[in-house]
């Protein structure tokens, strides 16, 4: 109401200042219609406002401002074609009309969104919107909204570096607004620029301590930097402003779990359960804590409950698979990983590689070598540069006297990727032993033992090698070292020593 009164008084003032000449009367009438149109627009009477603006246009020599106001009106009415036309007419009278460029930018952004399923059209409209807002920024370098719009458009165009530049400019234009720092920090976080993200997100929170998204993003930054104490402190602070917020309670519970503050973590998780009894994240964290504190029976019960509540929770399934592996329940872990391969349809190649690699290892432990080989070959197909997978397959083939020449080549490739790896040197030495190339076997096994002197398997392999080439004293020495370093199958090694020392 106050705004309407102000506009009315302004109208009286303008009208009273005009002389009686025909030209001035025409201008006065034009201003009258413009102001009346503005009042009607403010009241939401768009059609009547449009009529007043149209009446004003022929009454003035340069109607650029009226056309740009009309363009704004049409945009509010969702009449984008008319809005664009009005803005272009405004620019025909004055190419530096900021409002008209802003209208064009908004129209092109709206059109880009409306055709978002068509990549070509979306790109073209975003480019046109960018050109419009670049003009606004050039005419008004301190126009914060124009720089915000440019940043968002650049993100749509996958121009992240340029977007970051515009968000940075927003913080310079208005250093007292949290929005610029928040958006800048979020983008830097996405780009992996964690130090800069931490600085700008902290600034955003110092400006507005009740910024929910600020806590969310800064907490994520701390976690990515493994600054768990700072993350826990931040989540504690967030709960002062957002009490009983299950997201922040869950993050606090998880950070306390990472910090091994299990009692406090369980207390926080109980707060989550009071609000959300079946919270998947809280159940998962609790299961992990119980496993760490050796309460495996209860941990397994919670894993089953969690998967029953949310059978497609990939994070929970993967954590359960780790839990079962840790318990040496290979039979139980295999179907979990097989299920993940089927369920995780959007998984990136590195995650599919991981599932296949784990399945290869687990099947090998079950002595199901055909299945193991299939999964290991698939993992190498997905990541030919995985030295670990190359070595694992090569060693398995050699150990089972299958495709030993190929095994040598696989292990050699693993060593080319990680030349100082003692385990890979042992694998190659063992593969040569299987080929009865004892000189090469000794060369690589001796290199391996220099890297890993207390490895029981390498000592066992050297014992076998020296026994084979009739150096029984050396063989016994290495076998005894294998026993001292806790080789798994002690009885097998003891029998070898007995055979070698038998007269």
Q: CA angle, 347 as apex, 342 and 350 as ends, to 5°?
A: 115
Answer positive or negative: Cα dihedral of 345, 347, 353, 359: negative
Q: Does residue 138 form part of some domain?
A: no
Asked if 105 contacts 136 with a C-beta cutoff of 8 angstroms, the reply is yes
Residue 496 lies in a domain: yes
Tokens encoding 446 = 């001796």
CA dist 392 and 376 (Å) reads 8
Specify whether the CB–CB gap between 339 and 324 falls below 8 A.
no
State the CB neighbour count (10 A cutoff) for residue 205.
Answer: 23
The tens place of each residue's pLDDT in the chain, 503 residues long, gives 444 434 443 444 454 454 445 556 677 788 889 899 899 999 999 999 999 999 999 988 899 999 999 999 999 999 999 999 999 999 999 999 999 999 999 999 999 999 999 999 999 999 999 999 999 999 999 999 999 999 999 999 999 999 999 999 999 999 999 999 999 999 999 999 999 999 999 999 999 999 999 999 999 999 999 999 999 999 999 999 999 999 999 999 999 999 999 999 999 999 999 999 999 999 999 999 999 999 999 999 999 999 988 888 999 999 999 999 999 999 999 999 999 999 988 889 999 999 999 999 999 999 999 999 999 999 999 999 999 999 999 999 999 999 999 999 999 999 999 999 999 999 999 999 999 999 999 999 999 999 999 999 999 999 999 999 999 999 999 999 999 988 888 999 999 999 988 86
Stated pTM of the model: 0.79
Rounded Cα distance, 460 and 464, in Å: 6
Instruction: Give the Cα separation of 195 and 192 in Å (integer).
Output: 9
Q: Are 411 and 428 in contact (CB under 8 A)?
A: yes
Burial category of 426 from C-beta neighbours within 10 Å (exposed 0-12, middle 13-18, buried 19 and up): buried
Is 4 inside any structural domain? no
Cα–Cα distance, 161 to 175 (Å, whole number):
21
pLDDT for res 161: 97
Alpha carbon of 489 to those of 456, 486, 495: distances in Å?
A: 10, 9, 11
Give whole-number Cα distances, 417 to 81, 294, 357, in Å. 60, 38, 18
Q: What is the C-alpha separation between 431 and 399, in angstroms, rounded?
A: 8
In a domain, 186, yes or no: no
Residue 468, in any domain of the structure: yes
Nearest to 459 by CA among 419, 430, 499, 438: 430
Q: What is the dihedral of CA 93, 97, 99, 104, to 10 degrees?
A: 70
Answer for the pair 86, 71: CB distance below 8 angstroms, yes or no: yes
* pLDDT value for 140: 97
Task: Tell the residue number behind the tokens 């806790």, with chain if given.
Answer: 486
Residues of the domain holding 474: 455-503
**DSSP state letter for 58:** G
Given a contact cutoff of 8 angstroms between Cβ atoms, the answer to whether 334 and 321 are in contact is no
Specify if 503 maps to a domain.
yes
CA distance 319 to 245: 25
Q: End-to-end distance of the chain based on CA atoms, in angstroms?
A: 113
Residues 6+ apart with CB under 8 A from 477: 463
**Residue 470, in any domain of the structure:** yes
CA distance 161 to 183: 13
- Compute the distance between CA of residue 497 and CA of residue 484 in angstroms, rounded to an integer: 13
Q: How many domains does the chain have?
A: 1
Q: Is residue 339 part of a domain?
A: no
């Amino acid at each position: 109401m106050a705004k309407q009164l102000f506009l009315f008084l302004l109208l009286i003032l303008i009208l009273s200042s005009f002389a009686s000449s025909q030209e001035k009367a025409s201008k006065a009438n034009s201003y009258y219609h413009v102001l009346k149109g503005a009042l009607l627009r403010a009241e939401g009477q768009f059609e009547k406002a449009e009529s007043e603006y149209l009446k004003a246009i022929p009454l003035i020599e340069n109607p650029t401002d009226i056309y740009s106001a009309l363009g704004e009106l049409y945009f509010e009415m969702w009449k984008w074609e008319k809005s664009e036309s009005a803005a272009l007419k405004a620019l025909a009278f004055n190419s530096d009309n900021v409002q008209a460029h802003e209208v064009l930018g908004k129209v092109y952004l709206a059109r880009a969104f409306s055709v978002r399923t068509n990549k070509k059209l979306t790109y073209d409209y975003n480019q046109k919107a960018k050109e419009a807002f670049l003009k606004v920024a050039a005419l008004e370098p301190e126009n914060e909204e124009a720089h915000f719009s440019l940043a968002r458009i650049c993100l749509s165009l996958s121009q992240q570096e340029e977007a970051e530049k515009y968000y940075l400019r927003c913080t310079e234009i208005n250093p007292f607004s949290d929005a610029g720092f928040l958006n800048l920090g979020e983008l830097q976080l996405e780009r992996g620029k964690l130090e800069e993200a931490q600085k700008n997100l902290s600034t955003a929170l110092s400006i507005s301590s009740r910024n929910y998204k600020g806590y969310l993003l800064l907490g994520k930054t701390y976690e990515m930097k493994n600054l768990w104490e700072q993350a826990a402190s931040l989540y504690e602070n967030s709960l002062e402003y957002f009490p009983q917020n299950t997201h922040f309670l869950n993050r606090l519970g998880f950070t306390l779990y990472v910090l091994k503050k299990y009692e406090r973590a369980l207390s926080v998780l109980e707060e989550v359960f009071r609000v959300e009894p079946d919270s998947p994240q809280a159940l998962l964290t609790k299961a992990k804590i119980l496993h760490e504190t050796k309460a495996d029976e209860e941990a397994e019960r919670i894993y089953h409950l969690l998967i029953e509540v949310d059978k497609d929770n990939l994070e929970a399934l993967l954590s359960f698979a780790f839990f079962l592996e840790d318990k040496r329940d290979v039979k139980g872990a295999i179907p979990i990983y097989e299920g993940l391969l089927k369920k995780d349809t959007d998984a990136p190649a590195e995650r599919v590689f991981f599932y296949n690699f784990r399945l290869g290892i687990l099947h090998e432990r079950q002595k199901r070598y055909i299945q193991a080989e299939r999964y290991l070959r698939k993992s190498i197909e997905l990541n030919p540069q995985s030295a670990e997978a190359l070595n694992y397959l090569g060693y398995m083939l050699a150990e089972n006297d299958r495709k030993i020449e190929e095994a040598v080549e696989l292990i050699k490739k693993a060593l080319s990727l990680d030349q100082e790896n003692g385990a890979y040197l042992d694998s190659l030495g063992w593969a040569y032993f299987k080929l009865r190339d004892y000189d090469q076997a000794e060369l690589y096994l001796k290199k391996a033992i220099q890297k890993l002197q207390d490895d029981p398997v390498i000592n066992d392999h050297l014992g076998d090698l020296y026994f084979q080439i009739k150096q029984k004293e050396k063989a016994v020495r290495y076998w005894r070292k294998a026993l001292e370093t806790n080789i798994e199958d002690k009885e097998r090694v003891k029998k070898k020593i007995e055979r070698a020392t038998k007269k």
